[in-house]
């Protein structure tokens, strides 16, 4: 029996969806890998590494910041970016739970019944 989601569940789902959406672009994934390898990257370095126009990279950075995945510290005239520690933990937990559920032999759907 399905039950209604509580407001907290809906907020959690909205947050997870925002995280997933923020990661749903190859350029943003490239930025995250770059930041993981090079903490404190400067905006200009990111533009060079990603190989896109500065305005395009700025938009990708804005999306990642809005999702809470990265943060930027202004050091005029530069902005240094870094990953927010633990920001992807909720998404990792969801993926782990889905992985565990998909390997459950009690699952009701089998390939031969499809």
Domain that holds residue 91: 9-99
Question: In the predicted model, is pLDDT for residue 9 greater than 60?
Answer: yes
Decide if 81 is inside a domain: yes
Query: Is there a domain that residue 29 lies in?
Result: yes
Q: What CATH number is attached to the domain comprising 37?
A: 1.10.10.10
6/61: higher pLDDT: 61
The domain tally of the chain equals 1
In a domain, 83, yes or no: yes
What is the per-residue pLDDT across 15-59, written as a single tens digit (0 to 9) for each? 899 999 999 999 999 999 999 998 778 888 999 999 999 999 999
Percent of the chain at pLDDT > 90 equals 52
Q: Is residue 110 part of a domain?
A: no
In a domain, 114, yes or no: no
Q: How far apart are CA 43 and CA 27, in angstroms?
A: 14
Which band of pLDDT confidence, cut at 50, 70 and 90, is reported for residue 107?
low
At 1, the pLDDT band (50, 70, 90 cuts) reads very low
CA distances from 99 to 17, 40, 65, 74, 95 (A): 18, 33, 28, 39, 6
Q: Report d(CA 80, CA 73) in Å as an integer.
A: 5
Q: Does residue 106 lie in a domain region?
A: no
């Amino acid at each position: 029996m399905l039950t209604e989601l509580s407001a907290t569940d809906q907020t959690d789902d909205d947050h997870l969806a925002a995280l997933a959406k923020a990661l749903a672009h190859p350029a943003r994934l490239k930025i995250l890998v770059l930041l993981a390898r090079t903490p404190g990257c400067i905006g200009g370095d990111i533009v060079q590494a990603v190989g896109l126009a500065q305005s395009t990279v700025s938009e990708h950075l804005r999306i990642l910041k809005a999702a809470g995945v990265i943060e930027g510290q202004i050091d005029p005239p530069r902005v240094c970016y870094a990953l927010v520690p633990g920001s992807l933990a909720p998404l990792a937990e969801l993926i782990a739970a889905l992985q565990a559920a998909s390997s459950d032999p009690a699952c009701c759907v089998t390939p031969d019944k499809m």
